[in-house]
């Protein structure tokens, strides 16, 4: 059976690429600490030595649109082009091309459907910064095949929070039952409190530092029950109008098995808190 060597849950800040590659004269003052934390986090994936990455993210109204909106979608393609014109325009993100792992995609689709998750699928998916940012931060050589898993955290009506946790648990079960010998990492990105397009956007911190503190505790301790008791689809509007991205963190808590993280770090940035968590399901030397 495949070896689930690491589970990573992190934020996907699209400004990191530009901040970390800017020449010294235009480099923001927070960039050095940010790069240091990201390099430390990257090492947690490098240590796990994965062969394939299951990448959980959410399309930001790029390919998936209101005329045909899936709640949960798995990509099954030999390649995934990455990033869009408006992400180049706003964030300076580079165009990328990532290799796909069609066999694992097919396995997750078939087994997931049979387990009661009626996934949508895509044979031609252009991934956006929810997938490419964690590649840039944790595997910048972009050399491993991926399976993208998209969730709807953007366009209500959304599934209820326990459904995201259940999907994370399912991904963990399916990866570990995949009858291959590959070393698999599941990497998912979401948000803590975040406001975009509202009165609390782009403040000196995230819009709700108290929510962020509680959320980081839930994730770091693998406290799924606490998180489920602490948030609802309605309550997630309160910390910030884009905070439903926290549902992807809840998914990853499910994927991590509801246990304490082996690595947890945060960075208080303007307008949002960055967060970095890693679990080693079978220990660091699996």
Partner 1 sequence: MSKYLLNKFLFTVDRDPDLVERYRADPRGTVTWWEAERANVVLNLPQIERSTWLKFTDVEREALATHDYVKLFELGAHPFLTLTLCIALFERDYAEPLGFQREYAARLKHWSLPYPDITT
Q: Write out the residues near partner 1 by the rule CB under 8 A.
A: 28, 60-62, 65-68, 84-86, 89-90, 154-157, 196-203, 237-238, 241-242, 270
Least distance to partner 1, CB of residue 283, Å: 40
| Rounded CA separation 68/60 (Å) | 14
Q: What phi, psi does 195 have (nearest 5°)?
A: -125, 130
CB of 208 closer than 8 Å to CB of 239: yes
Least distance to partner 1, CB of residue 196, Å: 5
> Buried (b) or exposed (e) across 219-243, using 16+ Cβ within 10 A?
bbbbbbebbbebbeeeebeebbbbb
N-term to C-term CA, the chain: 13
Q: Which two tokens stand for residue 248?
A: 């992807």
Least distance to partner 1, CB of residue 68, Å: 7
Considering beta carbons, is residue 17 or 279 the nearer one to partner 1?
17
Least distance to partner 1, CB of residue 199, Å: 4
Q: What phi, psi does 69 have (nearest 5°)?
A: -100, 110
Least distance to partner 1, CB of residue 203, Å: 8
Considering beta carbons, is residue 265 or 274 the nearer one to partner 1?
274
> Buried (b) or exposed (e) across 186-203, using 16+ Cβ within 10 A?
bbbbbbbbbbbeeebeee
CB of 133 closer than 8 Å to CB of 176: no
Least distance to partner 1, CB of residue 66, Å: 6
Considering beta carbons, is residue 22 or 39 the nearer one to partner 1?
22
Considering beta carbons, is residue 47 or 61 the nearer one to partner 1?
61
Considering beta carbons, is residue 14 or 254 the nearer one to partner 1?
14
Considering beta carbons, is residue 47 or 196 the nearer one to partner 1?
196
């Amino acid at each position: 059976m495949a070896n689930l060597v690491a589970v990573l849950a992190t934020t996907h800040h699209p400004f990191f690429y530009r901040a970390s590659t800017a020449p010294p004269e235009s480099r923001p003052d927070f960039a050095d600490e940010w790069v240091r934390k990201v390099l430390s986090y990257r090492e947690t994936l490098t240590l796990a030595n994965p062969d394939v990455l299951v990448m959980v993210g959410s399309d930001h109204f790029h390919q998936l649109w209101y005329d045909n909106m899936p709640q949960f979608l798995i990509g099954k393609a030999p390649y995934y082009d990455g990033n869009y014109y408006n992400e180049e325009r706003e964030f300076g993100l580079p165009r990328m091309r990532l290799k796909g792992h069609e066999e694992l995609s097919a396995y997750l689709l078939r087994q997931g459907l049979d387990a009661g998750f009626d996934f949508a699928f895509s044979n031609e998916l252009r991934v956006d910064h929810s997938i490419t940012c964690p590649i840039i931060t944790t595997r910048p050589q972009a050399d491993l095949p991926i399976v993208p898993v998209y969730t709807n955290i953007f366009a209500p009506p959304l599934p209820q929070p326990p459904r995201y946790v259940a999907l994370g648990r399912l991904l963990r079960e399916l990866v570990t039952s995949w009858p291959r010998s590959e070393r698999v990492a599941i990497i998912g990105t979401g948000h803590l409190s975040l406001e975009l397009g509202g009165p609390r956007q782009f403040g000196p911190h995230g819009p709700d530092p108290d929510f962020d503190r509680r959320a980081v505790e839930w994730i770091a301790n693998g406290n799924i029950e606490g998180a489920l008791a602490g948030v609802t689809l309605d309550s997630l509007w309160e910390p910030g109008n884009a905070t439903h991205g926290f549902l992807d963190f809840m998914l990853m808590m499910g994927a991590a098995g509801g246990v304490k993280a082996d690595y947890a770090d945060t960075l208080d940035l303007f307008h949002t808190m960055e967060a970095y968590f890693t679990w080693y399901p079978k220990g660091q030397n699996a």
